[in-house]
Amino acid sequence: MTSRNCTAWLAVAVTAAAVTAAGPAAARRHDPERLPVTHIRDLHYGDVLFYFYQDEDFEAITRLTAYQHWKLLPHHEAESQLLLGGLYLALGMHNEAGERFQALLTDDVPAGVRNRAWFYLAQVWYARGYLEKAEEALRRVNGKMSPGLEAQKEHLFANVLMHQGHFDEAIRLLTVWRGSQLWSAYARFNLGVALVRQGRMADADAFLTAVGTMYAESPEMLALKDRANLALGFAYLQGNEPAKARPALERVRLNGPYSNKALLGTGWAAASLGDYQGALTPWMELRKRNVLDAAVQESYLAVPYAFGKLNANGQSVEYYESAVESFAAENGRLDDAIARIRNGNLLDEVLASAKDARYGWFWQLKNVPNAPESRYLYTVLAGHDFQEGLKNYRDLVFMGHTLDRWGGSMDAFQDMIETRERAYAERLPRADALLASRVAEKLEQQRVDLETRVNAIEKDHDVAALGSPEEREEWARIQRLEAALAGTPDTEQTAQLRERLRLLKGVLVYRLNDAFRARMWQQHRTVKDLDIALHEAQSRWIRVERARKSVPTNTGEFAARVAALRQRIDGLQARLAATEQKQSAYLAAIAVSELEQQKSRLATYQVQARFALATIYDRAANADAAHPGQPAPGQPAAEQQGPDSNLPEPRP
């Protein structure tokens, strides 16, 4: 399981985030290393998980922290705290994660989940170099985990103990440990190394030989075989047992990652046994390889040393002079690389080669930048200290970009506030004029008058009052005609007119009366709609009055908050820039230190080569003075002289 997957499991498992609830059947089939599923009951918690499942850990942790501050996760308080711990772990904030796990991984959490959480936290602490915390977390694992995780846990525990110098306890742990073939091989290798460091070579031989002679196909296991043989061989060399060292070193592959050291050690084993001719075979092969490797550099001295022991002084001189030239040229290239690093180019090129990779603790540098100094820094770039420091530096760069983005948001907020203030200033005179007009009160009075009139019409059953404009016009004409006929003499013609008018009035009254109820209902409905409209108008009127008083205050508060945040961001950016500069200087110092060590090693080798040359020439000069006419150094006759015990002897 990858590191990212480990923390992904941890965060997901402890949150118990799922879309369905587990029933009794699911409980019976429950995995003891996972929490039962649960409902998401808070929308904001689902929002956090949305970003988490997209691997946007920083966005998720930002939202989760904000929602917790605003108390928007009442149903997921404990789960959100555990998720926050997992996110802190993913971002490399292991102390904060450990504090939350220690407080929240209680007996209420299933034992399997607690064990896996502590195991993954121990892995991260071990990688970070917090050995005591890693040991404490591993000791919190109670009982057995699944076989695969149990094997990894025991292997990790042994490594922690050995790094702390507790070799006896590590030996006891690995002696009784059983696991899969892969982890068993690692366990035997680690046990062998622990026994070597305890000086128990006889016991260590059995374990390292078993690993060094096992059947392997995968690149990982083949590399482990080579490493075991190399460790055993050099342990015997340091113990002055070259005969036992030679078989182990010869088992190392010629094209593996440890072949250079194995070739160097094989040569020294042969040389220690007096077989200088046999030593030349691996050393000459090694000398053809990249001079950047320390083992190759030492072979530049070992080859002429072996020729000297074989009385081939001419060849010895030739190879010593070649070594001096190679060391001088390489030393100049190292000076150029150091100058480039001190100019600040290294980290920019390193991050440019991985600009699309994710931030956080699980990021790793995988592509070496195409730069002249890179050829000297493979070991440094792959080293633990540099990788961890580079993660911190990359996170600082990410935080700098985030603060820049937030600073841009503050500028946008400030523009919004200024726009709002201008709009308020422009609309204020109209709002004041509207408020001073008391329109709302007038409309309310008109509404009261209208309701009074409608009620009077209904009470008096005034059907003509609700007629259409045409009907009201006809009604008014009939009333005028009635008034005109009322003052005329009673004649037959007048009587006919009055009868016809009465019939017309009756028809009109019938029509008005027939529509009166519907029209009356419509009037009441209109009054109700008017009430609603007036209520909305009054509500808006109140809001306008409140806004008139509150907008300046709110705008001022927002402006103050934005200004405070802007100031805080500026302060953080200054601190971040200083920290980033320090981290950059620290990483550059690591790289320069490695190159300085290489320069120092080359200088030592160069001095040894020059001293060896001086010794050969001095011996040759003395021989010429004692035997005139003898060939000079470098000529074939000089190769017949005996070995010089004064030559410096490089050691593995």
The 10s digit of each residue's pLDDT in 19-54 is: 223 333 333 344 554 545 667 889 999 999 898 888
Q: Which CATH architecture has domain 1-145?
A: Alpha Horseshoe (1.25)
Q: What is the percent of the chain where pLDDT is above 90? A: 16
Mean pLDDT value across residues 468-489: 83
What tokens appear for 426 in the block?
């422009």
C-alpha 191: how far from chain center: 34
CA dist list (Å): 19 to 38, 307, 459: 7, 76, 63
Mean pLDDT value across residues 193-213: 89
What tokens appear for 444 in the block?
């309310």
Residue 7 confidence (pLDDT): 46
Residue 456 scores a pLDDT above 80: yes
pLDDT band at 283 (very low <50, low <70, confident <90, very high): very high
* Integer Cα distance of 277 and 285 in angstroms: 13
Residue 248 confidence (pLDDT): 94
Domain boundaries of the chain, sorted by first residue: 1-145
Lowest mean pLDDT among 366-370, 564-568, 601-605: 366-370
pTM tops 0.75: no
Query: Which of these, 644, 598, 587, lies nearest to 620 by C-alpha position?
Result: 644
- Note the pLDDT tens digit of each residue in 230-270: 999 999 999 999 999 999 999 999 988 899 999 999 999 99
CA dist list (Å): 302 to 240, 298, 306: 18, 6, 6
What tokens appear for 592 in the block?
């320069």
Residue 464 confidence (pLDDT): 81
CA dist list (Å): 3 to 10, 359, 364: 11, 13, 11
Mean pLDDT value across residues 322-330: 88
Tell me the β-bridge partners of 17.
Answer: 38
8 Å CB contact between 19 and 97? no
8 Å CB contact between 253 and 226? yes
Residue 373 confidence (pLDDT): 61
Higher pLDDT residue, 549 or 140?
A: 140
Residue 345 confidence (pLDDT): 67
Phi, psi of 651 (to 5 degrees): -120, 155
Query: Which of these, 52, 53, 10, lies nearest to 33 by C-alpha position?
Result: 10
Q: Is 38 helix (H, G, I), strand (E, B) or coil?
A: strand
Lowest mean pLDDT among 79-83, 106-110, 568-572: 106-110
Residue 368 confidence (pLDDT): 58
* Integer Cα distance of 652 and 299 in angstroms: 10
Phi, psi of 38 (to 5 degrees): -150, 170
8 Å CB contact between 163 and 131? yes
Residue 399 scores a pLDDT above 60: yes
Lowest mean pLDDT among 2-16, 481-495, 504-518, 520-534: 2-16
Lowest mean pLDDT among 100-104, 378-382, 419-423, 497-501: 378-382
Which DSSP string do the residues of 281-315 spell out, in sequence order? HHHHHHHTS-TTSHHHHHHHHHHHHHHHHTT-HHH
Contacts of 352 (CB under 8 A, 6+ apart): 369
pLDDT band at 365 (very low <50, low <70, confident <90, very high): low
Residue 2 confidence (pLDDT): 44
Residue 169 confidence (pLDDT): 85
* Integer Cα distance of 310 and 301 in angstroms: 14
8 Å CB contact between 299 and 286? yes
pLDDT band at 481 (very low <50, low <70, confident <90, very high): confident
Amino acid at 435: L
- Note the pLDDT tens digit of each residue in 591-643: 888 888 888 988 898 899 899 888 888 887 776 655 554 333 332 222 222 33
What tokens appear for 62 in the block?
């930002």
- Note the pLDDT tens digit of each residue in 96-129: 777 777 777 777 777 777 788 788 888 878 877 8
Mean pLDDT value across residues 399-407: 87
* Integer Cα distance of 634 and 536 in angstroms: 111
8 Å CB contact between 121 and 39? no
What tokens appear for 452 in the block?
């009074």
